[in-house]
Chain A
Amino acid sequence: DGGITQSPKYLFRKEGQNVTLSCEQNLNHDAMYWYRQDPGQGLRLIYYSQIVNDFQKGDIAEGYSVSREKKESFPLTVTSAQKNPTAFYLCASTLDSAKAIYFGEGSWLTVV
């Protein structure tokens, strides 16, 4: 089936550790996104990429890093510099600006 796969679904991180969230899509979409959502809040854009080997910071990029080496993959690393990383992380993709954006099922990150 075509879609966006995020893994892991649940992740626990100790303070000071870096963790990487995986996002893979087989929709042949050019653009991919990472959003963060805190409880009861809206989506906030972390990073986005519109073509391979290029990406831009979103509204809350500090403490995060990404890569886009392949069209289908857009992993997000939550670094130790991110002071409050506990949140729901959503990866999304779209074909172009005229089309809807589609989401993976999300990854829950908890700092312990």
Chain B
Amino acid sequence: RKEVEQDPGPFNVPEGATVAFNCTYSNSASQSFFWYRQDCRKEPKLLMSVYSSGNEDGRFTAQLNRASQYISLLIRDSKLSDSATYLCVVNSGGTGGFKTIFGAGTRLFVKA
């Protein structure tokens, strides 16, 4: 089992749709969680951190469920510019230092 697993893509949605991505992680001691966005041929960029209480940034909502070991990202009112690959990222600490694990990413296509 991979340490971080994401929904297989691609997701094809019309403009204005609501789309949700899920991500599961295997290390129960994981400490911090993030969603990144990567455009084609560009570097990944931080979209938002994910907190246990859930957090919202405009049309984007991220949630963490530690008991079930998954995080989610909800995009409301999708725009054409939301088309990208969304990466789930999990940080885990340990005696040898910490590790940053990336999911493989889920591609989103928003169509007019």
Contact = CB atoms under 8 A, between A and B. Distances in A.
Interface of A: 31, 33, 41-43, 50, 56, 88, 90, 94, 96-106
B103 A103 contact: no
Nearest to A4: B43
Interface of B: 31-32, 34, 41-46, 49, 87, 89, 91-93, 96-98, 100, 102-105
Nearest to A91: B43
20 contacts: A31-B97, A41-B104, A42-B87, A43-B44, A43-B87, A43-B102, A56-B97, A94-B100, A96-B98, A97-B31, A97-B91, A97-B92, A97-B100, A99-B32, A100-B46, A101-B46, A101-B89, A103-B44, A105-B42, A106-B42
Contacts, number: 50
A98 B32 contact: yes
Given A42-B105, A97-B92, A102 B46 contact: yes
A96 B92 CA distance: 10
B19 to A, nearest CB: 20
B44 A50 contact: no
Top 9 nearest A-B pairs by Cβ distance? Answer: A97-B98, A42-B104, A103-B43, A97-B93, A50-B97, A97-B91, A43-B102, A100-B46, A98-B32
